[in-house]
Amino acid sequence: MERYGRITEKHPREIVLLKAFPCKWGKCTFCDYIADNETDEQAIVELDSAVLAKVRGDMGVLEVIDSASCFDLPEQTLDEIHDLIHAKNIERLFLESHWMYRHRLEEMRERMGVPITFKIGVETFDNDFRENYLNKNAGFTSPAEVAEYFDSPCLMVGIKGQTREMIRRDIDILKKYFRLGTINMFTDNTTPVKRDRELAEWFLDEFGWLLQDPDIEVLIENTDFGVGD
């Protein structure tokens, strides 16, 4: 498992993949990422400390991800992140959070003491597909509601059951309501959710221009940020 990477194209930054306590939701039908969760706090803290020690600070921006939300990291790890960004003069932090923590984002901003770009795994703005098939437990009613709290949604494309119309609408919403965004091509994993290869190929043909969009990061493979397995 690679846990440290450097993103050098759009929005250059260092990125670390840390361990966290089990995701408080942990019921998304498409996600086996939660297998990286851990319950042994000492083991989490030791691994996270070793990963954070690789951060150089030379890019001025750090992204911290884990298999849950940033709020599911141990307190000691959060303290180490705080100390690290100030010791290394890191000026901006990227973090990801589940919708359930939306009322705690300002708490994290105050704790870290630097500007934070908050990501959220929306997957799709189609409420029925997101809630009744993907089981995200993110019951917002409009894109504007998401934009009240979060800076950068993560979308997923190429899932069996999605339609071209759903993807077109998601891209339109992303560009209309948000300055930044990430689009992940779904990769088959251990869950019953499967990739629609024809739809994925269509997306790359129809929206290949997003690869050049400076504000949208497209992950064709889920390890394209240089971390993961």
Cα distances from 12 to residues 36, 44, 214, in angstroms, run 26, 27, 11
Which residue ranges make up each domain of the chain? Answer: 4-219
**Section 152-170 average pLDDT:** 98
Q: How far apart are CA 198 and CA 128, in angstroms?
A: 22
Residue 207: what pLDDT?
97
Classify 219 as helix, strand or coil: strand
Residue 176: what pLDDT?
98
**Section 35-59 average pLDDT:** 97
Cα distances from 129 to residues 64, 113, 126, 209, in angstroms, run 28, 37, 6, 26
The mean pLDDT value of the chain amounts to 97
Give residue 34's pLDDT band: very low, low, confident or very high (50, 70, 90): confident
Topology, domain 4-219: TIM Barrel (3.20.20)
**Section 126-153 average pLDDT:** 97
Asked if the model's pLDDT at residue 222 lies above 90, the reply is no
* DSSP sequence for 162-196: B-HHHHHHHHHHHHHH-S-EEEEE----SSS--B-
Residue 35: what pLDDT?
86
**Section 173-190 average pLDDT:** 97
Read off φ and ψ for residue 19, nearest 5 degrees. -90, 155
Asked if the model's pLDDT at residue 212 lies above 90, the reply is yes
Residue 33: what pLDDT?
85
Q: 10 Å Cβ neighbour count for 38?
A: 18
Residue 158: what pLDDT?
97
Asked if the model's pLDDT at residue 229 lies above 90, the reply is no
Q: How far apart are CA 142 and CA 134, in angstroms?
A: 17
Residue 31: what pLDDT?
94
